[in-house]
Amino acid sequence: MSYKVYINGEFFDKENAKISVYDHGLLYGDGVFEGMRSYNGKVFRHEEHIDRLYKSAKAIHLTIPMTQEEMMRAVNDTLAINGLKDAYIRLVVSRGVGTLGIDPNRCPTAQVIIITDMISLYPQELYENGLGIATASTIRNPASSLSPRIKSLNYLNNIMAKLEGLQAGCSEALMLNHQGQVCECTGDNIFIVQDGTLLTPSPDCGILEGITRGAVLDLAREHGIPCKECVLTRHDVYIADECFLTGSAAEIIPVTQIDARPIGDGKPGPITQKLIALFKELIA
């Protein structure tokens, strides 16, 4: 199926959806993006994603040439033109076409690209049995050099860690910050359960504040599961009763092994399963 791609207000067939090689998004990773999901024709936490996009853009001094309302409409229009109800949405705003050299002032207008496609998920088997992760030696960018709160087009920090995970035979890798505290995985936030309490690194640890992470914290609070945003060490993950990851693409996926050690009894735990069920209801 060839889906149409939105570029600056126009729709192009996938094979004709092209941008300039002088775009600073390509040349320097200068831009921001969002990865979203739609369920039954409705974008999950749409406004929150668009808010995060505009905050990322603001942080890198990038002006998006349309309002948040217009952006939400453009996303809905792209889904509609492609007849997609359950989809993955990739929204990219790049610095746009410029000259060679990093000066962003040489790029007069940002480019807005919206790609909608089928979702590619982890295999179902991993949702049932859990996934293994490995700690990467690549440290998460400290907020003082490039804030992980910016969802930027420069993902090399995460890609370096992902490569380490894959080399260790794992599809995700755990990233620590420069103080050795647990941050997040390369494209997912991390949670553990210890003695019935749900724990996840606080934003101060240097993470992307995931929208799915926020939805899971809301669900836990609504359903009386005690939860805390705090500092976690790798040791805490090693001795956790349960562990899972959250992200727009993965939703909630259990982790049953880290650095070749089983987590808890090596099977997805009851609180993880409860949250997976509650999340399914939320998106139904």
The contact set with ligand PXG (CB under 6 A) reads 35, 158, 184, 187-189, 208, 210-213, 246-249
Whole-angstrom Cα distance, residue 248 to residue 38? Answer: 10
Quote the least distance from Cβ 81 to ligand PXG, whole Å. Answer: 21
Quote the least distance from Cβ 87 to ligand PXG, whole Å. Answer: 12
Whole-angstrom Cα distance, residue 87 to residue 120? Answer: 9
Catalytic residue among 18, 42, 85, 151: 151
Quote the least distance from Cβ 195 to ligand PXG, whole Å. Answer: 25
Query: Given the complex with ligand PXG, which of 181 and 212 has the nearer CB atom?
Result: 212
Of all helices (H) and strands (E), which one includes residue 19? Answer: none
Q: Which residues contact 138 (CB under 8 A, 6 or more apart)?
A: 157, 160, 161, 164, 173, 175
* Minimal CB distance residue for ligand PXG: 35
Q: Which residues contact 46 (CB under 8 A, 6 or more apart)?
A: 36, 72, 75
Quote the least distance from Cβ 177 to ligand PXG, whole Å. Answer: 13
Query: Given the complex with ligand PXG, which of 111 and 158 has the nearer CB atom?
Result: 158
Q: Are 77 and 6 in contact (CB under 8 A)?
A: yes
Let me know if 280 is a catalytic residue.
no
Strands (E) across 141-265 are located at 172-176, 182-185, 189-194, 197-201, 227-230, 242-247, 251-258, 261-262
Query: Given the complex with ligand PXG, which of 97 and 183 has the nearer CB atom?
Result: 183
Query: Given the complex with ligand PXG, which of 240 and 245 has the nearer CB atom?
Result: 245
Q: Which residues are catalytic?
A: 151
